Structure 1
Amino acid sequence: MKISVIGGGYVGLVSAVCFAQLGHTVGLIEIDIDRASSISRGSPQIYEKGLEALLSKHLEKSLHVSTAYDAIPDTEIFFICVGTPEGDNGHPDLSMIQSACQSLGRSLIDMDSYHVVVVKSTVPPGTTEGLVVPTVLEHSQRAGDEIGFCMNPEFLREGRAVEDFMHPDRIVIGSNDSRAGDWAESAYRGIEAPIVRTGIKSAEMIKYASNAFLATKISFANEIGNLCKRLGIDVYEVMEGVGMDHRISPHFLDAGAGFGGSCFPKDLSALIHLAEGMNEEPLILRSVQNVNERQPARMLELLQKKIGSLEGKRIAVLGLAFKNDTDDVRQSRSIPVILSLREMGARIAAYDPRANDNMKKMIHDIEYCSRATDALRDADACLLMTEWPEFGLLDEEFDLMKNRVIIEGRRILSCQDKEGICW
């Protein structure tokens, strides 16, 4: 098939290279000239396992990059993968969706054949039918039966996105008619996974509900972990037993500093505001959010109990990305910790295997180190924030500190004298 992917960000780029890997001819449309140029040179600008290799494999063969909407003439299916960041009021900012739909519509004016427009961006229920469909039709000057519309949410974990695309738990396709849904389904031919066919609004809600439930599991584990710590119980032993129940599963029950990234916080906030806008009180969702926002402060409370005032103290912060295997620092739990440390007068030495540069763009006035040992040298304490495997091997390196005061927000350290945030 001939596929065009609109948006060269995280979801768009991963989707484009994976569709090319499935044998389709793919055009990646990215209006940011610098990003498009970088991708065209084989540099994805994001770290994702296997992504750069696939990009190089298919670039200028079955994958073409353009800043215009004519990247692939006679495109059959358009996948909209632009960002929907959180707005000032908690609602997602849909301006990039609207702009993409306007440009896409204008590109379809002179095309007579049937096309399918698939929304892969995360959008509130009702957005595809209420915004995407009328905008595309208006600017294309075409009738509703000449263009099919679908919602196909992504479920890509950062750090494992290529694997998740090629080996998904399920593929969800919401469509306004069976023909459009069939076309969207055919784009995934070659992938073995259950196909869930729904209405468009249901597909939009499946994405939000999935992320909200996973976030709920994390905050639940953290709340139980906070209680377990007071009782002297190992929460990881507890959650191992809990997770063996097939109705619960062991996934997303790792207690720690909380969740971050580009999806969970944003999508949880959007779902809360959606509910409140419909006069529903999202009690559980609010609690999930509150637990997550408070969790990083517990590391600072532990730190102060151990070393007292933080004024002038050198604190090593290991891990800046919101999780391992990515350089994404969006909503990382390291951010509120670093900002609080700075307010308390601490001197911060930070290190991350991949995310130093991205964190520098957000927080300038701290020391960034090229190795964990550089951050640990002469430190009064260490806070571990990201579960990079290399951190799990640290032990004697902590002897470089003034005192071995080690608090971990992710359970990965093998040394004996560390203390967990909630275990």
Structure 2
Amino acid sequence: MLKREKTDVLVIGGGAAGMACALSAAKEGVYVTLLERESSVGGVLNQCIHNGFGLQFYHQELTGPEFASRLIDEMNMENVKIINQSYVRDIDVRKRVAQVLSPDGAYEIQAGALVISTGARERPFGSLLIPGDRPSGIMPAGVAQRYVNLENRIPARKAVVLGSGDIGLIMARRLTLEGVEVVGVLERMSYPGGLTRNIVQCLEDFDIPLHLSTTVTEVRGEGRLRSVEVSKVDENFTPIPGTSRNIDVDALILSAGLLPQVEDFSDDLEVDPVNRGFLVSNTCESSVEGVFAAGNNVAVFDLVDYVAAEGWIAGRHAALFSRGVNTSGDRVPIFRGKNIGVLVPGIVDMEEHLRLYIRLRKPMEKGVVVLRELKIEKKFSYGVPSEMIQLVVNRDKLQPLMNHGRLTVEVQ
């Protein structure tokens, strides 16, 4: 029997952004329903048993499960209904009505406001277009992490990691600690893709080599992966003749990047072509009124603390919208200037403080982030694309944008 329910705020996705959102909305005095497809909330935090989380959000260093547990404990003290193992079968984002299946039955949920916090997914092996066989033993770093940390299984005896994203760096260390021989991390760029602290703590501290401007050019194996061919690449990522060599391994761990999970909603909500995630304002509202988005489905953030902070903002504004409180002000678009890659948000709402998250297009020894129309500058030293630059502007300083009708962000 179809259960028809109403909720003030419906949150889809129970990772860091979704939990922070649900908690923030509930603290505004509204009723919140949180949908999570797994058997428990927490998302990828549940398998990230290393520390380094919470330094900004909780001002305390936590592991991933500890970070999730803190949010869960706080949600349990608020008016939040969690439906685990739930799947959104259909949704009308404009009417904010969702058809949901769960072990408890089928629901039709009418929401006053909707928040999408579906996170990101790992780039699959097929998208890398690497020639050769298709044996077992090739897996994303997040899958390897789940095997080891949640299922107590060792996925390899000898492995190579392709891509120097943070999950790959962390898994190079984790596999080494479990007795797996990690022969190296390969990165096709001329610079690492992960945080500097992970390069040091996960590779250098364990004598795991990092090979830059290097990639896998062929995989070989019948049934199980037997070996990979690796080659140096030029600035166009073309393999350099005469540089190929063979490495015997039984696992290829992929750390080739994350992609915002937007497919189920991209027909209705505008997507930023550079971020590849939902276009949102600094209130986290999407291109559809009353529909908000936060976390890695907006852009891939480098810190969970940023994800949770954006979820908190989304929850507060969603709660106010559901109560009929108009918190939206005048808005202007944000444009990318030179050297700007990922940029969040894409729209400035004058009624909220502006929190900018920026990824550089290339490494820079030093530079200045310039908010051209506001005449605001922020200097930095040693900027790399893997580490976001954050800049906060008080809403009292945003009014000059109304005369310009835009904000341009660039790095000089």
- TM class by shorter-chain length? 0.3 to 0.5
> Could you say which structure has the higher strand fraction?
2
Compute the TM-score of the two structures, normalised by the length of structure 1: 0.32
Compute the TM-score of the two structures, normalised by the length of structure 2: 0.32
> Could you say which structure has the higher helix fraction?
1
Q: Relative contact order: is structure 1 or structure 2 higher (C-alpha 8 Å, sep ≥ 6)?
A: 2
